């Protein structure tokens, strides 16, 4: 044999080696595809097959002028697969730590922790490998009876608390009882621009996914109306909760595969359903008006330190709320930092609390008696009487704050806030008619306001009244109302006789900006005639005149109509026998002024209600004329130029005639 060829022995040896390799390969393939097929398929399916649910962007909440009250910020939830890290990337870790804002030792510990003991609690929550953050991941298995494992998106940590443990572990534990960590969260607040710089570092195994977090650009502005979305992504209060159906959108999802580095292989996508972003909700709230209302509350709080206070501003012709502000309030971006003892600040007291409205409620008896033709503005009543006969028996009349030396006209009863006069007007109507008018003005029932946990208030029917109710309810005692109910009651006169439903949402727009629904004024059957409403508006101007109880509310050149209220608070008192009883306090009052302007052509209704400002008032009594009326005037003076309210002069003379006519 030529020396240029291998020997037969070598050829046989080489052939045997090759055959042995093929035999080993064949044996391995038989083992994997026949003997251990189920385990292999399960692993491949879990490692490659996936459905990723893409969260939809929540719609914005806008004010009446398009300003953003609530929006969704795009952030990156950043994590690491410790199994994919390369030794040569270790020199980049300091830069990574600086970019995500964590100490290098803490980052190093997370990156080097590659497994975790398979504790029972962890085993119960263990999921398929390497679930991407933000969005649900559904991993298919061979056993279709248990076909999916769902990994919820990680939730942001509350400020000051440890972040939630969103670590994703391998399915099975090794012989030491350890589960490999397939994903560990590094941060859930990475900005898009920062993420671009992180990607430029090219640290293998570090990756993130876009998520949306709710943000409130104006912090506490209109907090009780806007509401908030909690850490779990659940709309918890306000318009966020009420309009959640429109705001949250519809999640999308895609089905596909990923490679050995757990990157998605877009070419193998079999289904791709895009997310549909949520609709935007436009409110009737004007951020500028809301800001002015909240500034006025801040001034009241600084000067009087009340227990609570409310300012409401609305359009009397439509019922749309332009501002609703409460003191105390809270920052929407820090809702979870409000201490437990201060969480009452999160309650919308404009609709969730009630109070005895006091003299503002006198508009009901006066309007009813005028509307029924039982009296005229010049009709006079003796307001020096101690009692009067009603339904066959004498009834004690309430005491007056002032002594009147002559019979008062209906105009003067309103302007000078006579308790005895209001009682006699209600007696003219009778129990049932007076009660029916109170209901027609919206008391004792829900207004239909969409947010804030509205309550009914309290107003007993006539068959539940005692002998004094007919004399006390007309002056605003023996009845409790929410601030919004009283505001809308005054709105009946400003609207020309209609009780309008208080509206907060103006329109709904889809993700492309197209209007899909508009809200308009909603009215109940007419409460009083247009003529009665005009008459009452003229009479209420007398309140803000030099002869009325609220000269402090007058604005030169403008017709201001309104009514003061100063009511004693019902507080529990412990008796000698240890029991408690509610009694009217001499030192704790609710002061209010509710009015509108211009009286002959109303364009805005404003309510100012201040609870328990007595300790900082001269004489220790917080009168509506001294506390609420000046705040009304100051706010109205700022709204006049902003809302372009023109002065009206022609009816001023008629008011003077009405007041003087009652004295003749």
Domain boundaries, the chain: 51-283, 287-330+348-661
pLDDT at 269: 58
Residue 558 confidence (pLDDT) above 90: yes
Instruction: Tell me if residue 569 falls in helix, strand or coil.
Output: strand
The predicted model gives 159-180 an average pLDDT of: 64
What average pLDDT does range 210-223 have in this prediction? 93
The pLDDT of residue 565 is 96
- Report residue 148: phi and psi, to 5°: -135, 150
Residue 560: per-residue pLDDT = 97
Mean pLDDT over 160-187 rounds to: 71
Decide if pLDDT at 391 tops 80.
yes
Tell me the mean pLDDT in the region 374-386. Answer: 96
pLDDT of residue 664: 33
pLDDT of 130 over the 60 cut: no
509-526 tens-digit pLDDT? 999 999 999 999 999 889
Residue 116: per-residue pLDDT: 82
pLDDT tens-place string over residues 217-253:
999 999 999 999 998 889 999 999 999 999 998 888 7
CA distance 627 to 591: 7
Mean per-residue pLDDT, 259-279: 68
Radius of gyration of the chain (CA): 36
Read off φ and ψ for residue 38, nearest 5 degrees.
-60, -45
Residues 6+ apart with CB under 8 A from 183: 79, 80, 81, 130, 131, 132, 133, 166, 167, 168
Instruction: Name the CATH code of domain 51-283 (choices 3.20.20.70, 3.40.50.150, 3.90.1310.10, 3.40.50.620).
Output: 3.90.1310.10
Predicted local distance difference test score (pLDDT) of residue 149: 31
pLDDT (mean) for 471-485: 97
Rounded average pLDDT over 297-324 = 97
Average pLDDT over residues 40-54: 60
Q: Say what the pLDDT of residue 252 is.
A: 80
Query: How many C-beta atoms surround the C-beta of residue 399 within 10 A?
Result: 8
Give the Cβ contact number of residue 42 at 10 Å: 15
* Torsion sign (Cα): 624, 628, 629, 632: negative
> Mean of the pLDDT values across residues 111-117?
86
Torsion of CA 542, 545, 549, 555, to 10 degrees: 120
Check if the beta carbon of residue 50 is closer than 8 Å to that of residue 138: yes
pLDDT at 141 over 50: no
Q: 97-135 b/e with 16+ CB inside 10 Å = b?
A: bebbeeeeeebeebbeeebbebeeeeeeebbbbbbbbbb
From residue 281, alpha-carbon distances to 114, 211, 459, 509 in Å are 46, 21, 35, 6
Q: Is the pLDDT reported for residue 388 higher than 90?
A: yes
Between CA 116 and CA 137 the distance in angstroms is 22
Of the options 3.40.710.10, 2.102.10.10, 3.40.50.1360, 3.40.50.300, the CATH number for the domain spanning 287-330+348-661: 3.40.710.10
Of 132-136, 294-298, 359-363, the one with minimum mean pLDDT is 132-136
Q: What is the pLDDT of residue 37?
A: 67
Q: CB neighbours of 333 closer than 8 A, spacing ≥ 6?
A: 215, 216, 219
pLDDT at 114 over 70: yes
In angstroms, rounded to a whole number, what is the distance separating the alpha carbons of residues 46 and 303? 66
Q: In percent, how much of the chain has pLDDT > 90?
A: 62
Per the prediction, the chain carries an average pLDDT of: 86
Q: Label residue 49 by pLDDT band (50, 70, 90).
A: low
- Whether the pLDDT of residue 169 is over 90: the answer is no
Answer whether 51-283 and 287-330+348-661 agree in fold.
no
Burial class (CB in 10 A: 0-12, 13-18, 19+), 465: middle
pLDDT value, residue 555: 96
What's the whole-number mean pLDDT along residues 276-283? Answer: 95
Candidate ranges 50-59, 534-543, 643-652; pick with highest mean pLDDT:
534-543
pLDDT at 54: 75
pLDDT value of residue 657: 43
* CA pair distance 24, 28, nearest whole angstrom: 6
Q: Which has more pLDDT, 325 or 207? A: 325
């Amino acid at each position: 044999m030529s020396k240029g060829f291998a020997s037969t022995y070598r050829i046989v040896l080489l052939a045997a080696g090759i055959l042995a390799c093929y035999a080993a390969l064949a044996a391995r393939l038989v083992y994997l595809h026949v003997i251990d097929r189920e385990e292999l398929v399960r692993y491949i399916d879990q490692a490659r097959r996936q459905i990723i649910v893409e969260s939809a962007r929540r719609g914005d909440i806008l004010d009446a002028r398009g300003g953003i009250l609530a929006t969704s910020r795009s952030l990156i939830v950043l994590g690491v697969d410790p199994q994919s890290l390369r030794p040569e990337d270790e020199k980049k870790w300091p830069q990574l730590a600086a970019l995500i804002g964590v100490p290098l030792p803490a980052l190093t510990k997370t990156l080097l922790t590659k497994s975790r003991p398979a504790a029972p609690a962890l085993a119960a929550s263990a999921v398929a490998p390497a679930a991407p953050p933000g969005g649900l991941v559904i991993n298919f298995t061979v056993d279709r009876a248990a076909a999916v494992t769902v990994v919820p998106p990680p939730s942001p940590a509350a400020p000051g608390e440890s972040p939630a443990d969103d670590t994703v572990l391998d399915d099975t534990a090794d012989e030491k009882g350890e589960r490999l960590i397939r994903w560990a969260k590094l941060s859930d607040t990475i900005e898009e621009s920062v993420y671009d710089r992180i990607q430029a570092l090219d640290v293998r195994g570090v990756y993130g996914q876009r998520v949306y977090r709710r943000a409130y650009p104006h912090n506490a502005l209109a907090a009780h109306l806007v509401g908030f979305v909690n850490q779990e992504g659940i709309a918890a209060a306000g318009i966020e909760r009420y309009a959640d159906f429109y705001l949250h959108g519809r999640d999308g999802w895609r089905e596909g595969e990923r490679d050995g580095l757990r990157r998605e292989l877009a070419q193998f996508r079999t289904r791709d359903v895009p997310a549909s972003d949520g609709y935007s909700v436009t409110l009737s709230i004007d951020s500028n008006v809301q800001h002015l209302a909240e500034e006025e509350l801040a001034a009241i709080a600084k000067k009087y330190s009340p227990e609570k206070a409310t300012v409401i501003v609305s359009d009397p012709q439509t019922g749309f709320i332009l501002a609703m502000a409460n003191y105390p309030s809270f920052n929407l971006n820090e809702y979870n930092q409000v201490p437990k003892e201060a969480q009452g600040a999160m309650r919308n007291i404009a609709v969730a609390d009630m109070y005895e409205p006091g003299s503002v409620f006198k508009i009901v008896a006066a309007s009813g008696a005028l509307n029924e033709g039982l009296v005229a503005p010049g009709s006079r009543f003796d307001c020096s009487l101690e009692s009067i006969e009603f339904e066959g028996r004498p009834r004690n009349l309430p005491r007056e704050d002032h002594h009147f030396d002559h019979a008062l006209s209906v105009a003067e009863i309103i302007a000078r806030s006579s308790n005895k006069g209001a009682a006699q007007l209600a007696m003219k109507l009778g129990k049932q008619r007076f009660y029916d008018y109170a209901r027609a003005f919206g008391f004792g029932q829900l207004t239909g306001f969409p947010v804030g946990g509205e309550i009914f208030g309290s107003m007993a029917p006539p068959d539940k009244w005692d002998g004094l109710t007919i004399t006390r309810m007309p002056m605003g005692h023996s009845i409790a109302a929410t601030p919004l109910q009283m505001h809308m009651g005054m709105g009946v006169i400003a609207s020309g006789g209609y009780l309008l439903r208080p509206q907060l949402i103006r329109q709904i727009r889809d993700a492309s900006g197209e209007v899909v629904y508009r809200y308009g004024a909603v009215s109940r059957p007419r409460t009083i005639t247009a003529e009665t409403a005009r008459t009452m508006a003229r009479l209420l101007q007398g309140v803000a005149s030099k002869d009325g109880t609220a000269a402090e509310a007058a604005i030169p050149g403008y017709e201001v109509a309104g009514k003061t209220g100063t009511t004693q608070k019902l507080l529990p008192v412990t008796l000698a026998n240890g029991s408690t009883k509610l009694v009217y306090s001499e030192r704790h009052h609710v002061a209010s002024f509710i009015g509108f302007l211009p009286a002959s052509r109303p364009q805005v209704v404003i309510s100012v209600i201040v609870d328990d400002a007595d300790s900082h008032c001269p004489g220790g009594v917080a009168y509506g004329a001294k506390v609420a009326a000046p705040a009304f005037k100051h706010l109205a003076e700022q709204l006049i130029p902003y809302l372009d309210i023109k002065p009206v002069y022609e009816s001023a003379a008629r008011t003077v005639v009405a007041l003087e006519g009652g004295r003749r």
